[in-house]
Amino acid sequence: MVNRTNILITGLLLLLMFLLPVSMATAQNVTESQEQSEDELYNHIKSNISVYNQHTEMVPGFVKSLVGNEEILVLIEKNNNDTLLIKAVTENAEITQFDKIENESQMNPTVKVTTNEETVHSLMNSDDPIETFKQLREDGKLDIEPVGVTKKAVFWVSERIFNLFG
């Protein structure tokens, strides 16, 4: 039987996917570069989706029902002050769509994630993505904002449960 800590950690990993797909032990190493183009950053994040999706069976059903079916708008402020906009769609915690978009009006998100390129690299290069994720959120470098009253309530409850047991 899976203990509560494992369930909550798995739930946090699901929240991590709102920013980028992280494969637990098999994520590719990233060579950081201040001059990395938007396509390189986007392509690197996208290249990890299949690895992430291979681990979605670990996400408990109740977590999938709470936060596993989303339309996510990801805004990444690039080092060159451009903004990379990504539309990510999840179904049962699996990422089914991951596309660059030109502007926010191209979608109706249920979750909005705002961060910067440095934060993305910190997560992708972390040996402990869960702890890094928590620290980045505490430092205000990663904002996950549910859209709508119902989503806000679901996320509020999810965060309280995680804080209680995590």
> What string of pLDDT tens digits covers the 166 residues of the chain?
444 434 444 444 444 544 343 333 334 443 344 344 557 888 888 887 887 788 787 776 666 766 678 899 999 999 989 999 999 998 888 889 999 999 999 899 998 999 999 998 888 888 887 788 878 888 999 888 888 888 888 778 777 766 665 5
Euclidean distance between CA atoms 28 and 4, whole angstroms = 29
**Cα separation values, 123 from 56, 87, 115, 120, 159, Å:** 19, 19, 11, 5, 19
Pairing of strands 143-146, 111-116: antiparallel
Tell whether pTM > 0.85.
no
Here the tokens at position 49 are 């989706």
